[in-house]
Amino acid sequence: MQIVIDHLVKTYEGGIRALDGVQMQIGDGVFGLLGPNGSGKTTLMRIIATLLEPTSGAVSIDGNDVRRRQSDVRKLLGYLPQEFGLYPSLTAWEFLDYMALLYNVEDTRQRERIVNESLERTNLTHLRDRKVGTFSGGMKQRLGIAQAILNSPKLLIVDEPTSGLDPEERIRIRSLLAELGGDRVIILSTHIVADIEAVADSIGVLHLGKVKFQGTHEELLRSIAGKTWQIEVEREELRQIKEKLQITGVFRSIGGVEIRVVAASSELGGSLPHIRARQVEPTLEDAYIHLMGGSAVG
Ligand code: ADP
Ligand code: MG
């Protein structure tokens, strides 16, 4: 499957330009859409899912414009919205059975089969008779994913599925997505670099409605090759260093504080002549902070 996003613009009432000429290509595998809050991720996903009209530009799937083929697109689509309501007094099984009815699966036996399969794939079988209202955040997200895969979608869109979860639940969601990614396209949006690191085959970075990067892990890492350093500093020096260098991480060390920076070696020497920097392997976090022009130190 090939999804082409062509010059997409979305201006909301009030003049906010949530998408500002977005161009992207999404192929098979897990596509990680990374960006801070307000960068336009949800807007983009809703347009791909045909739930929102763009102001201009187009999205096509295998050459078919999604606006003209709305019902075909919806048939191949599973969607987990960023915010979704569950019915707290239904059990997991009742909820999925109800959702399957909404997908027009009228045959009871067939419904039972796909609900059981969805529960199985999302590791919820043991919770099938528990009321949804008693679920943890992670269980709710897994149920949301179970709902989104009821119709065996060829395209699965999940909008910030790990946000607000504790680390253990986050890891479960990641491994679930990695498993589901085998035989379909998954578009995963997140503001958490580690989500992308864990599961995405290719990456798009959005910032203020514009594409800042599209490519693979390796390509994103290569953008800062030879420019990542770890430096031991005195606490008092931090403020001064932060004015001169882009800091992407701060750690406590035996002597005081260690920082990670992204800088060309010439920049490094010029700004901190007395300091010994150790070159380190770049991480996606370094590359992302660098791309955003931000800093890990406020
Ligand atoms: P993200 O999902 O990356 O946080 P969104 O797509 O939700 O980004 O939002 C992008 C921008 O559009 C933000 O500035 C947001 O405030 C604005 N926005 C989103 N939805 C609406 C809406 N329904 N009406 C007006 N502005 C909106
Ligand atoms: Mg969002």
Q: How far is the CA of 88 from the centre of ligand 1 (A)?
A: 28
Report how far residue 25's alpha carbon sits from residue 188's, in angstroms, rounded to the nearest whole number.
14
Q: Which amino acid is at 185?
A: V
Position 297 in a domain: no
Q: Which of 215, 236, 269 is the last residue of a domain?
A: 215
Strand pairing class (246-252; 185-190)? unpaired
Shared domain for 130 and 242, answered yes or no, is no
Which strands sit side by side in the sheet containing 17-26, from one edge to the other? Answer: 17-26, 3-11, 56-61, 64-65
Shared domain for 273 and 202, answered yes or no, is no
Shared domain for 183 and 234, answered yes or no, is no
The end-to-end CA distance of the chain, in Å, is 42
Atom of ligand 1 nearest to the CA of 160: 2
Position 229 in a domain: yes
Strand pairing class (77-80; 228-233)? unpaired
Q: From 237, 236, 279, select the one nearest 260 (Cα to Cα).
A: 279
Alpha carbon of 166 to those of 11, 54, 138, 162: distances in Å?
34, 34, 8, 8
Atom of ligand 1 nearest to the CA of 43: 6
Shared domain for 24 and 157, answered yes or no, is yes
Residue located nearest, by CA, to atom 26 of ligand 1: 12
Q: How far is CA 11 from the centre of its chain?
A: 22
pLDDT in tens, 212-240: 999 999 999 999 999 999 998 888 888 88
Q: What is the pLDDT of residue 162?
A: 95
Indicate which ligand has the atom closest to the C-alpha of 159. 2
- Higher-pLDDT residue of 181, 91: 91
Shared domain for 167 and 25, answered yes or no, is yes
Q: Which of 197, 215, 233 is the last residue of a domain?
A: 215
Domain count, the chain: 2
Is pLDDT of 270 > 70?
Answer: no
Q: From 236, 228, 273, select the one nearest 257 (Cα to Cα).
A: 236
Q: What is the pLDDT of residue 240?
A: 84
Q: Which of 215, 250, 280 is the last residue of a domain?
A: 215
Shared domain for 228 and 207, answered yes or no, is no
Across the range 235-260, mean pLDDT stands at 87
Q: Which domain holds residue 285?
A: 224-292
Indicate which ligand has the atom closest to the C-alpha of 83. 2
Shared domain for 93 and 7, answered yes or no, is yes
Average pLDDT, the chain: 93
Q: For a substitution probing ligand 1, which of 16, 52, 55 has the most ligand atoms within 8 Å of its CB? A: 16
pLDDT in tens, 171-213: 999 999 999 988 799 999 999 999 999 999 999 999 999 999 9
Percentage of the chain exceeding pLDDT 90: 81
pLDDT in tens, 100-134: 999 888 999 999 999 999 999 999 999 999 999 99
